[in-house]
Amino acid sequence: MTAHQKILVRKVAAHGFVVCFLILVLVPFVMVISASFRQGDFAPSRLLPDKVSLDHWKFVLGIPYQEVVNPATGETRTIKAGTPPLLWFWNSIKISLISSAGIIFLSSTAAYAFARLRFKFRTSTLGALLILQMFPMVLSLVAYYVILDFTGQHLKWFGLNTQAGLIMVYLGGISNYIWMIKGYFETIPATMEESARIDGASQFQTFVRILLPMSLPIFAVVFILSFISYMSEYPVASVVLQSSDNWTLAVGANSFLYEQEKLWGRFAALAVLSGVPITVVFLLCQRFVIGGLTSGGVKE
Amino acid sequence: MSEGSVEIKDLVKTYTDDRGRPTFTAVKNISLHIEDGEFMVLVGPSGCGKSTTLRMVAGLEKITSGTISIGERVVNELEPKDRGIAMVFQNYALYPHMTIFNNMAFGLQLAKKKKDFISDTVGRTSKALGLDHMLERKPHALSGGQRQRVALGRAIVRSPKVFLFDEPLSNLDAKMRVQMRSEISKLHAQLGNTMIYVTHDQVEAMTMGDRICVMRDGLIMQVADPLNLYRQPDNLFVAGFIGSPPMNLLKGKVQRRDGSLFFTEATEKNPLNIPLKGKLEPLASKYIDKDIIFGIRPEHLSDEVKDPAHVPVTSTVEIAEPMGSESLVYLKAGTANLIARIHGEHLFHLGEQVTVQFNLDKVSLFDAATENVIR
Ligand SMILES: Nc1ncnc2c1ncn2[C@@H]1O[C@H](COP(=O)(O)OP(=O)(O)O)[C@@H](O)[C@H]1O
Ligand SMILES: [Mg+2]
């Protein structure tokens, strides 16, 4: 083989790998979109729908539509969702936005303490956080259930089957974000904050006026990550939220997958719908994920 | 008036870990008085505790023991902003997301000064520093020298009693450094404030300081004005640290022969013998047969006799660095290596035999055991 041929083979192999990988990523995505536009609720067998129908989308968006009940007589009935799925959509967005904002607030302040203050048990607490984050939230489901049951007896709006309760549980998942933000803070030289301190800024003013503006990129990343994870979180939400008007999109979507009958079409439409806010949040936050925010402040 | 004087007394700094266990003592009991309006330079090799000392004066680092007073007021427990100080950092430490104007105005804004006052003060200071046409820029759009000037301006607008500088010029290129050096000196002359200036560069220390405090390993080795520090080093460390090229230091013993004292170099083969006459005689007489170190600066080796205090030493030229009006000549005398700074437009050739004259009036003798100068 000449050198030229070798390069060619290598190119083909590399491109082949990339194409296979792309297919692996894209096919499920296309299948979900196509399932949402396919008539009927069969598990999708072909990539493109054979019969296009907007029924699933109408259902999800709360628009009544006619469904043929008896093909022999042509008898139809009007279908309209009991709880409008759009309500779940708003619930999800609301819960995810509030939780993510709370996450940013809690984890950035905690990360500031870990990165800049010196106190007893700092390293051991950090280590404990690292270990804690290795256990998935699901493992504590029972505990969350009991705790919320208890708080609900005293504060009605803050117990089981309340969104406030779910948000509270979600806010517990900050340990890995603390680590991420702390890592970022530590790349920022402390002299800028010391300058601010000499200039007369309090610790809080230093945090808000000096450190925060330089940390927008990491906050954007944390916001995106936590928003995505809460938009799609199912196990905890399904246990905490019981009545259907409180459900999030993930819980609602799963409710169409009955043991006997899996309504894939509606499920797929909801899945696609949940991608919309994620995309929007991503596009909004992306503008902040830019380098060079700290450049010029210190000589590296 | 002494509101800008700084008194450091028995200052100790031991760094601790998170649990408060001591890890490293960076400053081991130093005392230093700085006059109001004085330009004091802290100089020493890297890691000797200069920054730690300065940061304790600034209030950025907790004091382990001892006291620091500024203007006769103990400031140990005061926040930095209440100490009447301003600090310029080596890495500028500007606020990257703020304009130059806001960088300089930040402290005044926090102090809730009037808008007019702020824009007036910042405007005047930036004009004096040649920054007035870039007030709306962010720091990243400035050169290194300009950034350090902004940092200087930020310190000036606070109108502190004491300026603290931590190696402010180390990040600048050589030319900029020389320029900023004279600017800071001019600033000191204009404002008349107390300034404490940390550097590891002895040239900077010598050219800028009213007085210089030489530190090593968390201790003060000597405090003196530049000339005295150069002429009369208290110990071997200062002798070797100050001056470039460094002082020639020869190890040996004092010996008495035929009723006169000699310095005899400590080597096996043909050691250098230098008579210890004049002012050296009474000093050396206490050290007969003891180890001492003989120190002489390069410029006190010359190639012509000027007065009877000179003694000739025969040596061979190893390297010669002609620099126009003077030459640095690296010599070998016996086994000893010597550097001579010889004035005049001589040309020295490798391997050439020259007789250099030691100016005994300028020699320092050190006790080899204590490393202190013999007085
Ligand atoms: N936060 C710290 N914890 C432990 N040791 C430190 C700390 N900061 C500085 N040191 C040590 O203290 C010594 C003096 O440091 P410093 O004052 O910065 O020296 P320099 O004279 O170079 O400015 C150094 O050996 C340094 O390693
Ligand atoms: Mg330093």
Q: What's the complex ipTM? A: 0.88
Are the beta carbons of A199 and B154 separated by less than 8 Å? yes
Nearest beta carbon to residue B110 from set A122, A205, A300: A205
In terms of domains, do A17 and A111 share one? Answer: no
Reported confidence tier of residue A40, pLDDT bands at 50, 70, 90? confident
DSSP A298: B
In terms of domains, do B171 and B233 share one? Answer: yes
For B148, the token pair is 């350090």
**C-beta separation of A33 from A268 below 8 A:** yes
For chain B, how many structural domains are there in total? Answer: 2
pTM: 0.87
Q: Considering A27, A61, A79, which residue would you say is the last residue of a domain?
A: A79
- The CATH number for B343's domain is 2.40.50.140
The pLDDT value given to residue A237: 94
Are the beta carbons of A198 and B86 separated by less than 8 Å? yes
Q: Which residues of chain A are at the B interface, by a Cβ-Cβ cutoff of 8 Å? A: 118-123, 189, 191-192, 194-201, 205, 210, 213-214, 292-300
In terms of domains, do B195 and B339 share one? Answer: no
**C-beta separation of B294 from B333 below 8 A:** no
Print the domain residue range for A72.
3-79
Is residue B374 one of the residues assigned to a domain? no
CA of B244 to the centre of ligand 1 (A): 26
Is residue B372 one of the residues assigned to a domain? no
Tally of CA atoms within 13 A in the half-sphere of B120 that contains its CB: 5
Print the domain residue range for B349.
248-367
Quickly list DSSP for B304-325. S--STTEEEEEEEEEEEEE-SS
The pLDDT value given to residue B62: 95
Cβ contacts of B107 on chain A, cutoff 8 Å: 198-200
Q: Is the pLDDT of residue A252 over 80?
A: yes
In terms of domains, do B132 and B231 share one? Answer: yes
- The CATH number for A183's domain is 1.10.3720.10
- Residues 247-286 (B) with a CB less than 8 A from some CB of A: none
Q: Considering B202, B223, B241, which residue would you say is the last residue of a domain?
A: B241
Nearest residue of chain B to residue A195 (CA atoms): B93
CA of B68 to the centre of ligand 1 (A): 19
In terms of domains, do B230 and B267 share one? Answer: no
Residue B50 CB–ligand 1 contact under 6 Å = yes
* Nearest CA, atom 26, ligand 1: B47
- Distance between CA atoms of A215 and B239, rounded to whole angstroms? 48
Reported confidence tier of residue A48, pLDDT bands at 50, 70, 90? confident
Q: Is the pLDDT of residue A44 over 70?
A: no
Q: Considering B241, B261, B291, which residue would you say is the last residue of a domain?
A: B241
In terms of domains, do B233 and B292 share one? Answer: no
- Packing angle, helices B144-157 and B174-191, rounded to 10: 20
In terms of domains, do B45 and B180 share one? Answer: yes
In terms of domains, do A89 and A202 share one? Answer: yes
Alpha helical stretches, state H, chain B: 50-58, 100-110, 115-128, 144-157, 174-191, 202-208, 226-231, 236-241, 280-284
Residues B83-130 have pLDDT tens digits of 999 999 999 999 999 999 999 999 999 999 999 999 999 999 999 999
3-state secondary structure of B268: coil
Residues B13-23 have pLDDT tens digits of 999 988 889 99
In terms of domains, do A64 and A146 share one? Answer: no
Reported confidence tier of residue A292, pLDDT bands at 50, 70, 90? low
Residue B51 CB–ligand 1 contact under 6 Å = yes
Provide the residue-wise pLDDT of chain B in tens; the chain has 375 residues: 578 999 999 999 999 988 889 999 999 999 999 999 999 999 999 999 999 999 999 999 999 999 999 998 999 999 999 999 999 999 999 999 999 999 999 999 999 999 999 999 999 999 999 999 999 999 999 999 999 999 999 999 999 999 999 999 999 999 999 999 999 999 999 999 999 999 999 999 999 999 999 999 999 999 999 999 999 999 999 999 999 899 999 999 999 988 889 999 988 888 888 999 888 999 999 999 999 999 999 999 988 777 777 888 889 999 999 888 888 999 998 888 999 999 887 788 889 999 899 999 999 999 999 999 998
Reported confidence tier of residue A136, pLDDT bands at 50, 70, 90? confident
Vertex A287: Cα angle to A285 and A291 (nearest 5):
110
End-to-end CA distance of chain A: 50
Residues A93-125 have pLDDT tens digits of 999 999 999 999 999 999 999 999 888 899 999
Give phi and psi for B114, each to the nearest 5: -65, 145
Nearest beta carbon to residue B138 from set A121, A189, A296: A296
